[in-house]
Chains A and B, each alone.
Chain A
Amino acid sequence: MKFPAFKYLRPSSVAEAAAQLAEHGDDARLLAGGQTLMPVLAMRLAEPEVLIDLGRIENLRGIALEDDALRLGAMTRYVDLERSALVAEHAPLITRALPYVAHVAIRNRGTIGGSVALADPAAEMPACMLALGAEIELTSTEGNRWIAAEDYFLGLYETAREDTEILTAIRIPLAPERRVGFYEVARRHGDYALAGAAAVGDVEDGRIQGLRVAMFGCDDLPVLAKTAAKAAETGVLDGAWLEADVSPTSNINGEAHIRLAQARVAFRRAVTDLLGVSNG
């Protein structure tokens, strides 16, 4: 057996899952779609004593339009988001980004909550949450709380979620006039991004306003490129100011200056995508 042995729990409600998590604490891992956790277990990079499978909790799935937000259940799969007319209308950035997430067989199992809970710095969904100003619901036996995406991502696979909390839902504020753009640089389509950018903003008379661009694959966590976005609002679209916002270091994927250049390409193409101009 490649996998470590573990006790498998399959709660049927959030309350039951929260109680199990409270009991086992950091000896337990939550299983969402498993598209990262399964390979991690196969490589024995994690050896949890208890696996709590959220897959049979029906009310963790689903996409619902609320008064001022689109609510996504944490266990909503990528494929369900891809097919959703509500997501296409109210959170088109997600629809735009999903084809970049792995490939069909993975998107049939992977969930938005799983991705946001893991907080891989090169993943698409955490960056989209940041760009969209999403709110994240965390639930424990003590109750639930909502936290803004900007306060949620803290570092490399590090988030504000406590060991006893379950990521249960995501709310995306409605903003009907908002436009979106997305791009990522990867070696092979579907691979993790070398650098990527998710952009939202308004366009009036050809000028961008209220631009938010979340960069991913650059630092240990997705970051808002505030300086470069301000510059883009004045017409500087090429990410010239990006080094004020992101600090890629030399790693296995390339030297720092190459990674910064890739980040600039992603920024420029995401912003031109938002403007509806063809990418140069």
Chain B
Amino acid sequence: MPTVSMTVNGKAVSGEVESRTLLVQFIREHLELTGTHVGCDTSQCGACVVHVNGEVAKSCTMLAVQAEGANVTTIEGLANGDDLHPMQEAFRNNHGLQCGFCTPGMVMTAVDLANKNKNPSEQQIREGLEGNICRCTGYHNIVKSVAEGARNMGG
């Protein structure tokens, strides 16, 4: 079996995986970082979004071996100890989640959006979240959360 090595949330990790192992399986099953969720497994829903080399990617649509040498950030990598990341804090303040299943992917996508655009409009937020589906349909508060989170990240 191939060996794969990468940096996840700042730590060097490696493991033996089957070639067919997805990045999300490596993160959840080998590293036991279960914050990243698997929804559809076919790149539709966005629950599995992580950052790969600083860019959002769907970890269900990428093999672990393709991430060889990459720098990966998952939802667990955002908070600083007990201090939530400003985007996580904003989701909490605005009740930006209902069942919470889509939340890790929403937050990772939102952080990327805010990194690129410090003051996104509602329209830009909604467009930025096109690849993330909330089956509770709780988009209203998610959009409010992202707006606040982006403001707080900038300030």
Give chain B residues whose Cβ lies under 8 Å from the Cβ of A1: 18, 20-21
Whether B63 contacts A34 by the Cβ 8 Å rule is yes
Q: Which residues of B are in contact with A by a Cβ distance under 8 Å?
A: 2, 18-22, 41-43, 46, 49, 52, 55-58, 60-63, 65-66, 109, 112-113, 127-128, 130-131
Could you tell me the distance between the alpha carbons of A94 and B80 in the complex, rounded to whole angstroms? 41
Which residues of A in the span 197-220 have a Cβ within 8 Å of any Cβ on B?
Answer: none
Which residues of A in the span 1-54 have a Cβ within 8 Å of any Cβ on B?
Answer: 1-8, 10, 31, 34-35, 38-39, 41-43, 51, 53
Whether B58 contacts A8 by the Cβ 8 Å rule is no
With an 8 A cutoff between CB atoms, is A108 at the interface? yes
With contacts A53-B66, A55-B66, A109-B61 taken as known, whether A2 is within 8 angstroms of B56 at the C-beta atoms is: no
Classify the interface of chain A: helix, strand, loop or mixed: loop
Whether B20 contacts A79 by the Cβ 8 Å rule is no
With contacts A43-B42, A104-B112, A108-B56 taken as known, whether A8 is within 8 angstroms of B128 at the C-beta atoms is: no
Give chain A residues whose Cβ lies under 8 Å from the Cβ of B57: 105, 108-109
Closest residue of A by beta carbon distance from B2: A8
Interface size on A, residues (CB 8 A): 31
Q: Which residues of A are in contact with B by a Cβ distance under 8 Å?
A: 1-8, 10, 31, 34-35, 38-39, 41-43, 51, 53, 55, 79, 102-106, 108-109, 188-190
Of A10, A39, A109, A190, the residue contacting B42 (CB under 8 A) is A39
Give chain A residues whose Cβ lies under 8 Å from the Cβ of B43: 35, 38-39, 105-106
Whether A8 contacts B131 by the Cβ 8 Å rule is no
Whether B61 contacts A35 by the Cβ 8 Å rule is yes
